[in-house]
Amino acid sequence: MNTNAKKSGAWSDWEKVYERVDDDDREYIHWIADDAVETAREYAPDVEKDRRERLAREYATLYILWRRATVDTFERGMGLVETYDLPDGGTVTAPKANPTLRRGLDISGRQRTIAKELRLFPGFRDSD
């Protein structure tokens, strides 16, 4: 069982998270998504309206997932360890990054892809 998913929810599919968030998070998602739609309408008019709205909602929901992954990463700490067996029969313990850190980076990468398509930031507006 993936206990990270249970703890932070960061491993969940963004659509499932969108369906299950509390009212405060839903309001925040709508605020971010509405802002993204307005920006995209101006700077990415070539993106079809339904796609623009879906991507904006995904982008905003991913923010909630990214925030959860980040909190989990630093709340549980980077100090996880893993023990390896050596050929001579001994063992060695080595530091291991919290797996949720990787998930946070994946989420951030997807957000960047969406931001680029919707041209949400000035650096993405001249990149065609």
- pLDDT at residue 1, rounded to an integer: 40
For residue 6, being part of any structural domain is answered with: no
Rounded Cα distance, 39 and 33, in Å: 10
DSSP 59-115: HHHHHHHHHHHHHHHHHH-S-EEEEEE-TTS-EEEEEE--HHHHHHHHHHHHHHHHH
For residue 108, being part of any structural domain is answered with: yes
Average pLDDT over residues 25-36: 95
Range of the domain at 37: 11-125
pLDDT at 7 over 60: no
If you ran DSSP here, which 8-state letter would residue 13 be given? -
* Nearest residue to 96 (alpha-carbon basis) of 81, 107, 75: 81
3-state secondary structure of 37: helix
For residue 95, being part of any structural domain is answered with: yes
Most confident by average pLDDT, 15-19, 73-77, 93-97: 15-19
Domain count of the fold of the chain: 1
Higher-confidence residue of 31 and 84: namely 31
Averaged pLDDT of the chain: 83
- pLDDT at residue 3, rounded to an integer: 47
